[in-house]
Amino acid sequence: MSPTRFALVGFVMWLPSCSSDPVRAHLLDSLGGETPGVPAGPLHRPGQPCAACHDAEGPAATVFSLAGTVYQDAMTLKPLPDARVHFIDANGKTYDTGVNCAGNFFVMNADYHPDFPVWVTLFYGMNNGQPISVQMESPIYREASCAICHQDPPSTDTVAHVYLSPVAFPAPPSPSCP
pLDDT at residue 10 is higher than 50: no
- 173 in a domain, yes or no? no
Highest mean pLDDT among 21-30, 42-51, 100-109: 100-109
Residues contacting 30, CB < 8 A, separation 6+? none
Cis peptide before 117 (omega within 30 of 0): yes
Total count of domains within the chain: 1
Counting residues of the chain whose pLDDT is more than 90, the rounded percentage is 52
pLDDT interval class at 70 (50, 70, 90):
very high
Pairs from 92-99 (Cβ < 8 Å, separation ≥ 24): 99/70
- 152 in a domain, yes or no? yes
Give the angle 113-131-45 at the CA atoms, nearest 5°: 50
- 30 in a domain, yes or no? no
- 11 in a domain, yes or no? no
pLDDT per residue as tens digits for the range 88-127: 999 999 999 999 999 999 999 999 999 999 999 999 999 8
Q: What is the pLDDT of residue 111?
A: 97
Reported pTM: 0.82
- 84 in a domain, yes or no? yes
Amino acid at position 107, single letter: V
pLDDT interval class at 33 (50, 70, 90):
confident
CATH code at position 116: 2.60.40
- 170 in a domain, yes or no? no
- 124 in a domain, yes or no? yes
Which of 27, 111, 125, 6 lies closest to 66 in space, CA to CA?
A: 111
Average pLDDT (16-21) is: 56
110/164 Cα distance (integer angstroms): 28
Domain range enclosing 133: 42-165
Average pLDDT (4-32) is: 60
- 150 in a domain, yes or no? yes
